[in-house]
Structure 1
Amino acid sequence: MAPDPKLDTSRTACPSSHSTANKIGRVLWGACWWVLFRPSPRILFGWRVVVLRCFGATVTAQSRIDPTVRIWAPWNLTIGRNSSIGHHVDVYNVAPISIGDNATVSQYSYLCAASHDLADPTMKLTTSPIRIEHAAWVCAKAFVGPGVTVREGAVVGACGVVTKDVPEWTIVAGNPAREIRKREINA
């Protein structure tokens, strides 16, 4: 099958939408990630908070971020008190990603705040912020797509694929994620 002549993803047809300053910032962050962030011992959560703050992240001292977490742009990241991001989480924060207090993003999850306009012949980059609200939990290997809000106390089950907002105190799972039940906390 011949390629569609209307689709042109060459560099001349679809130049990068990122500024030079953004590109330089990401290069500097990448170097610091390899040298200062990634090799730090797991227990040095405070050190990683300092490194992230140096690159513009809004992170509380009580945050726990694993050294294997991949963060695309620290300046687009906000993390609340007592929240954690587990090992090998990928934070693709082309648009801002905010994580509230007492929230957890478990291992191997993917927070993706960007996609492409499939109707545009150059497949232009589209971005939309993600919000993980207070006391929410994104379980292992879950995917949270652009523009999604995981509301207060909600849970995204392991390997769940979330492309729409998750109501507060609701448990969702599956691909696509569907409501399983309401989340109740024992007294």
Structure 2
Amino acid sequence: MRDAVPEGTSAAPERSLAALRGHSYDKGRGLAAQALWVAVSTLIFTQVWCPNRLRVAILRMFGAKIGTGVLIRHRVSVQWPWKLSVGDDSWVGVGAELYNIEPITLGSNVCVSQQAYLCTGSHDRRSPSFAYDNGPIVVEDGVWVCTRATILRGVTVGAHSVIGATALVSADVPPYSVVRPPPPVVTPR
């Protein structure tokens, strides 16, 4: 959430999820391209037997801007490849999810580790129709997004930063920063 719930107000209005329609954000391509991507992604792109060079070629074929020396591992989920840009010599690890209903831009020499989650979509909690509240994600050059870290919509991660394992990022991160997850709290029995 972008801001806290003001004291004395309800956290959420009554919602009518029937009022939300999936066509209320720009998917960037027509239904045929969307269906073809889902089929190719499911049957080929995410499979362990699919070589990296084919994954990169498939992403480019569907409109992604992919630099040289990029490594995309198996089980990587990309919502819409035409909304993805990846700089040179970047890696996306096994099982990472790039939920890019808005653009995701990864700079050069970026490492997105295993099962990291980059999510450009959200909803407006104040909206009775649960309207979309989406925003792009930019991960600048030299960033390491560690395993199972989450980056939410509208965030820019500054160059050469480290997003620690399981950390949650909901605001911009300055360059050369380290974002750590909260420490665990151990309570006696």
**TM-score, scaled to structure 1:** 0.85
Partner SS for 2:159: coil
Partner SS for 2:38: helix
Q: 1:58-83: CA deviations, max 9, x gaps?
A: 01231100121000000000001000
Once residues 30 and 182 of structure 2 are traced to their aligned partners in structure 1, the CA distance between those partners, rounded to angstroms, is 33
Q: CA deviation at 1:22?
A: 4.2
Once residues 44 and 20 of structure 2 are traced to their aligned partners in structure 1, the CA distance between those partners, rounded to angstroms, is 34
- Are the aligned partners of 2:48 and 2:75 in contact in 1 as well (CA < 8 Å)? no
Once residues 5 and 115 of structure 1 are traced to their aligned partners in structure 2, the CA distance between those partners, rounded to angstroms, is 16
Once residues 120 and 25 of structure 2 are traced to their aligned partners in structure 1, the CA distance between those partners, rounded to angstroms, is 15
- Gaps (5+ residues) in structure 1? 177-187
Using a 3 Å threshold, how does the CA distance of structure 1 residues 40 and 141 change in structure 2: closer, same or farther? closer
- Gaps (5+ residues) in structure 2? 1-11, 184-189
Q: What RMSD, in angstroms, separates the aligned Cα atoms of the two structures? A: 2.0
What is the match of residue 42 of structure 2? 34
Percent sequence identity is 34
- Are the aligned partners of 2:100 and 2:121 in contact in 1 as well (CA < 8 Å)? yes
| Alignment counterpart, residue 54 of structure 1, candidates 35, 58, 61 | 61
Partner SS for 2:178: strand
Q: Does 1:136 align with 2:143?
A: yes
| Structure with a larger share of its residues in strand | 1
Q: How many residues align?
A: 170
**TM-score, scaled to structure 2:** 0.84
> Which structure 1 residue ranges, 4+ long, deviate > 3 Å from structure 2?
18-24
| Alignment counterpart, residue 20 of structure 2, candidates 14, 24, 27 | 14
Using a 3 Å threshold, how does the CA distance of structure 1 residues 150 and 5 change in structure 2: closer, same or farther? closer
| Alignment counterpart, residue 123 of structure 1, candidates 97, 122, 130 | 130
- Are the aligned partners of 1:14 and 1:124 in contact in 2 as well (CA < 8 Å)? yes
- The higher-RCO structure (CA 8 Å, 6+ apart) is 2
Once residues 168 and 9 of structure 1 are traced to their aligned partners in structure 2, the CA distance between those partners, rounded to angstroms, is 39
Using a 3 Å threshold, how does the CA distance of structure 1 residues 175 and 93 change in structure 2: closer, same or farther? farther
Using a 3 Å threshold, how does the CA distance of structure 1 residues 18 and 166 change in structure 2: closer, same or farther? closer
Q: How does 1:94-109 map to 2 (within 5 A)?
A: 94-109=101-116
Using a 3 Å threshold, how does the CA distance of structure 1 residues 83 and 19 change in structure 2: closer, same or farther? closer
Counterpart code for 1:165 = D
- Are the aligned partners of 1:70 and 1:88 in contact in 2 as well (CA < 8 Å)? yes
